[in-house]
Chains A and B, each alone.
Chain A
Amino acid sequence: MSARVAVPGTGSARHAPPAAYRRAGAALAAEWIKLRSLRSMLLTPLLGAVMSIGVADSAVRNNATGWAHLDSVQKARFDPLSVNFNFVIIGILLFGVLGALVATNEYGCGLIRTTLAATPQRGLLLAAKAILAGVALFMLAVVITFTTFFTGQAILSGAHAPHVSLGDHNVLGHLLGTVYYMTAAGLIGLFTGVLVRSAAAAITSVFGFLLVLPLLADKITPDAVTRHTVPYLPANLGDEMLHHHTGLRPGVAVAGLAAWVLVLAAAAAFSLRGRDA
């Protein structure tokens, strides 16, 4: 009681909780320092860019030089955008891993205990982390996707093979869809990382979930159950942005992927609140 009575004087101003926006600003600043000093934040996107752009360009070059030797059926089936973006899966995986590392690195070195002591508002913490990582991943994805597109189409046009430009029907939509998919993969990795709290488990989950599970699901013959579940795996929803082979409408794919991210975000926020570090 006496402690409380003493407060109303000068002390109350000093001990009043900071305004919500200040707290959010501080959390964002702290998360930004951790994000930019994460070593993988430099290496992984670099590797992703080199792999995606390099491998896509060599595939496009192979197709471009072989263009004259294709028969009419193959020429009719040739999709300059699809050829250019077959390798987006590598970028997806690296983004997923990067997202997982953003979350688990802190658990690995024990920094998470300090972080949670400094910012006990764990929901705010997760939101700050997700927003910053999401923005960073989005910008990286824009650079990688558009560089892949411009270099790939330049190679095709140099070889006089069919190519598309940014203004053509649906092209910009496809590219933005790819950027969206890569960002979503990174966030899926991040929230999975918060859920499992270990780099190994998170990275294994990302690979299993985004790469191997859809491949295995394709090997099961379609029946009533798989026809209504398999297209909604995140990797198949993302694939839909580029290839249109599962028959879902693009809007459904965009919403489905967003639903995955949101569900994982809710699960991560819920488990972060209730568990120790």
Chain B
Amino acid sequence: MSVRAGTPARLGIRLDSRLRASALSEWIKFRSLRSGPSALAAAALTVVVGAWLLGAGNRGSYLAASPAGQAAFDPVFTVLQGIELAQLFVGAFGVITVTGEYTSGLIRGTFVATPQRAQVLAMRALVFTVVVWACCTAMSFAAFFLGQSVLSPAKHAGIGDPGVLTAVFGAGLYLTFIGLLGMFIGVLVRRTPGALAVLFGLLAVLPIVFVQIPGEITKNVGEYLPDAGEQVYKLMHSGAYALGPWPGFGVLAVYVALAAVAAFALILRRDA
């Protein structure tokens, strides 16, 4: 009892001020991450310049295509495909926000200052989500408008057309979730190369493996890989994938949620 007697003053720090302090320190670490701005800049460059190249490259082929090919042409997905490259940058950004701290040893200081580790991780995820979502949504809209104007004589979409606003918003959301996936994998692996290998394996290598192995099982399972989230920025959902935009995005969200649960469970019981 007597041991407890001295503590009330310390326990008296209210939860909201603790959360605010935690968010502030996470924000300082986030914005001073040296590779952060370049990762986001590389993603933006890839998505926007990619939209221009893909729009210009597909304009001619659309006009030359058969009526069936023209009907299947997806003007939104076509110009947003740069995301396939940009997701590596955003995912790597998510990984480094965590593993950089383990490499430099700062994580020990962080956990001494804030022993509530779940709170640290939650605030970091919050800061990351807000900033990355804002940037990625902005680059997605920029890519959309640029790409459509380049596509122009060929089939193109307006932002008010059915499903288009969802798709363009969804593209920013997709990139954000890939970043979060990278972040939680970073917590699980704690080392940059290993975490990047896991993330890139999931995003880029597994889909290739599943496409190449013929058979019913791989076809069915292959639909439920994290890149199913790409469905959210497609207008046309015919073809190999049967999942719609939000069910597809839900698959990605489930992966992120699983990684988050594992990350929160492990960060509480492991050393730094």
Question: How near does chain B come to A238, taking the closest CB pair, in angstroms?
Answer: 15
Residues of B within 8 A of A (CB): 35, 50, 53-54, 57-58, 60-61, 78, 81-82, 84-85, 88-89, 92, 95-96, 99, 103, 192-193, 196-197, 200, 204-205, 208-209, 212-215
Q: B193 touching A59 by the CB < 8 A rule?
A: no
Q: In the complex, which residues of chain B have a beta carbon less than 8 angstroms from the beta carbon of A63? A: 214
Q: In the complex the two chains form, what is the Cα distance from A66 to B218 in whole Å?
A: 15
Q: A220 touching B196 by the CB < 8 A rule?
A: no
Q: A87 touching B212 by the CB < 8 A rule?
A: yes
Would you mind naming 8 contact pairs between A and B with Cβ atoms under 8 Å apart?
A: A62-B213, A87-B209, A90-B209, A199-B193, A200-B196, A203-B193, A216-B50, A216-B85
Within A102-121, the residues touching B (CB, 8 Å) are: 108
Q: A226 touching B196 by the CB < 8 A rule?
A: no
From A133-141, A161-169, A207-215, the one touching the partner chain is A207-215
Q: In the complex the two chains form, what is the Cα distance from A38 to B54 in whole Å?
A: 41
CB < 8 Å: which of B85, B205, B213 contacts A59? Answer: B213
Q: In the complex the two chains form, what is the Cα distance from A142 to B213 in whole Å?
A: 24
A93-B200, A204-B196, A223-B60 given; name 7 further pairs at CB < 8 Å: A59-B213, A108-B103, A200-B96, A200-B99, A200-B193, A216-B84, A220-B57
Q: In the complex, which residues of chain B have a beta carbon less than 8 angstroms from the beta carbon of A208? A: 85, 88-89
The total of interchain contacts (Cβ-Cβ below 8 angstroms) comes to 88
Indicate whether A62 sits within 8 Å of B96 (C-beta atoms), given known contacts A203-B193, A213-B85, A220-B53.
Answer: no
A213, closest chain B residue (CB): B85
Question: How near does chain A come to B7, taking the closest CB pair, in angstroms?
Answer: 41
A151 interfacial contact with B, CB 8 Å: no
A101 interfacial contact with B, CB 8 Å: yes
Question: How near does chain B come to A49, taking the closest CB pair, in angstroms?
Answer: 15
Q: In the complex, which residues of chain A have a beta carbon less than 8 angstroms from the beta carbon of B50? A: 216
Q: B84 touching A221 by the CB < 8 A rule?
A: no
Per-residue contact bits, chain A 218-261, to B (CB 8 Å; 1 contact, 0 not): 01110100100000000000000000000000000000000000
